[in-house]
Amino acid sequence: MVMTSEFISTLQRVENVSHLLSKMGESTVDEAVQRIESICAFMERYGDLGEIFEHFKELESKLFMCREMLTVEEAAEYIGVSKSQIYLMTSNREITHFKPRGKFIYIERKELDDVLRRNVIYSKHEMNRRAAAETMADLSKGNRKAKKGTGK
């Protein structure tokens, strides 16, 4: 009796897999196995479905970063500061912002990228490269002045 129920259970699983494969279209068995393995790897990575849903919620909440115009809340999250810091930056006119209806503030993402690039601190390598380029430019200017002074 136990073997019969196991056999029926196995047949049912085979039938379910067959049904699944038929829904996948003209895929080969190897492609189906690869898809199933990738799903299994994904499940192992995130554990249970609850963790997967949390991961998707987090991704969904970050999708705003793809838009060009962000709200104050989104801007604050984008550059990692508080909303009050964003309001302070807008009231001090440190960043360009828009108020299309007079109330809600919108900020361009590229403006926020510029904020993140302020107060740059160059590496030693970059400082040496810039110094060399400036020296070459000065030498070039000096050569031009010398040529003008000799009448050539």
Any idea where the domains of the chain sit in the sequence?
63-116
pLDDT of residue 73: 93
Q: Which residue has the higher pLDDT, 44 or 135?
A: 135
H or E stretch covering 106: strand 106-108
Q: Residue 12 is encoded by which pair of tokens?
A: 């049912």
Mean pLDDT across the chain: 82
pLDDT of residue 148: 65
pLDDT of residue 132: 94
In contact, 75 and 86? CB cutoff 8 Å: yes
Name the most confidently modeled range: 12-16, 31-35, 39-43, 107-111.
107-111
pLDDT of residue 121: 93
Which CATH topology does 63-116 take? Molybdopterin biosynthesis moea protein, domain 2 (3.90.105)
49-62 vs 29-46: helix axis angle to the nearest 10? 80
